[in-house]
Structure 1
Amino acid sequence: MKLGLSGGGNYSSLRFQDSSITEHDSEVGYLFGIATNIQLKNELSLQIELNYERKVVSVFSPEFEINGVKINSFRNYDLYDFMTLPVLLRYEVGEKSPFYINGGVFLGYLLSARERVNDGDLSEDLSEYFTDFDLGLSIGVGKIFLLDNSNELFVELRNNLGLTNIDSDPNGQYQKTNSLSFILGWNLVL
């Protein structure tokens, strides 16, 4: 059994139906959390994590007009804070400093959704426009670096592909998450 701490960055995006008025861009966020790894067979283990994730998406609205009133272009940064619970099967290859591949599911709980306009002066709570839960598939590859018999470091590249619509309006456009994460961590081998 292993207990671990991890942190890193993510590059998040939303997949949604086209919008003619805005353009969405992926931005860099962060994550950190705790994990346990339970050995099932020689090369196979169960990885369970609890992570805090900040996902960031920028939204650009070009100049437009409403009832004869000109609205200047602006850029918003939408900040989504999630607690995520990935449950993954991990397959390791190699004895000393093994490589691994893992895959499974994740469940995300939305803690908050906020929007910052341009330079961050204005902020708006967007939580009411989103559902509380996100569910999806997770796949990753990584490498373990053994320090001694009870300590190891790891580095992982992981993709979390949201499968559920997080838009709270059932008649609105669908919105699904996607995050590519670069994770660094430390495990205590028990």
Structure 2
Amino acid sequence: MNKKELLLIVIGFIFSINLNAQNKLEIGINAGLNYPDIRGNEYAKYNNFKVGYLVGVSLDYYLKENLSIRANLNYERKIKKLELTFYDNQAQETGTENYNENFDHLNIPILLKHEFKNSKFFVNGGPFFNYLIDNKIDKKYPNDDSNLVTKQKKIDFGLSAGVGANISIDKKNELVVELRNDLGLIDTGGVPNQVNGTVKTNTLKLILSWNLGIK
């Protein structure tokens, strides 16, 4: 799946929402930062990750006044830091170089959201689904370890939970600030062949959404 196909999916998603929008449905756009991590094998703690980003669209379908189903369709980039140490012929360290490995995902969480009465705060939780669109290492990265690493799986699935606040701008528009954590429950692969264990994801996110007043 390339970026053009992803854009068409997003446009189609928004268009279908507009066709079926009712008073109980709120539509918005969102952007945010993520900080990923992995677990499941003895070397997982040695992986270094950097802050990545996400952009997408959101919707809230209200089941009743304070209870809704909140869903997102996000393009999400996770960034892993690769560091190489160089040595001279006397085995003395001469320096280090840093490179990035980028993981581009289509992220779809479907959450049950509860808003506290007489308050702007809410909690939500539910399953998430990730599809790996692309996985690339910086072109200047000199090592080729492809024969040592199992293939990265396309699918990731788990549970997501978050807390946040709705901030009203006017009668129709509002900002939504949310801190969310995605806990992966399945093995996504990519662990070195000589290492026992799995790779399961964990991603902390800070998300800012703008509900557009489209209902």
Alignment of 1:66-85 (within 5 A): 75-85=98-108
Tell me which residue corresponds to 1:147. 169
RMSD, aligned CA: 3.1
**What amino acid is the match of 2:75?**
Y
CA distance in 2, matches of 1:167, 1:81: 15
**Secondary structure, in 3 states, of the residue corresponding to 2:189?**
coil
Which one of the candidate residues 84, 87, 97 is aligned to 2:110? 87
Pick from 31, 42, 46 the counterpart of residue 7 of structure 1.
31
Partner of 1:35: 58
Distance 1:139 1:74 in 2: 36
Q: 2:128 aligns with which of 86, 93, 106?
A: 106
Q: Which runs of 5+ in 1 are unaligned?
A: 65-69
Query: How many residue pairs end up in the alignment?
Result: 181
Task: Give the Cα–Cα distance (whole angstroms) in 1 for the partners of residues 33 and 183 of structure 2.
Answer: 16
Alignment correspondent of 1:121? 140
Q: State TM-score, norm by structure 1.
A: 0.82
Q: How big is the shift at 1:30?
A: 0.1
What is the deviation of 1:165?
A: 0.7
Indicate the structure with greater strand content: 1
Gaps of 5+ in 2: 1-24, 88-92
State the alpha-carbon separation in 1 of the partners of residues 43 and 98 from structure 2: 15
Distance 1:52 1:135 in 2: 16
Cα separation, partners in 2 of 1:27 and 1:77, compared to 1, 3 Å = same
Using the size of structure 2 for normalisation, the TM-score is 0.73
Identity %: 35
Letter in 2 for 1:174: T
Superposed displacement of residue 60, structure 1: 3.8
Residue matched to 1:19? 43
Task: State yes or no: 1:57 paired with 2:76.
Answer: no
> How big is each residue's C-alpha offset from its partner over 1:16-66, in whole Å with a ceiling of 9 and x where there is no partner?
41239x9212310000100110001221100011001101122445569xx
d(CA) in 1 for partners of 2:82, 2:185: 22
Q: Are positions 1:165 and 2:187 aligned together?
A: yes
Instruction: State the shift of 1:138 in Å.
Output: 0.3
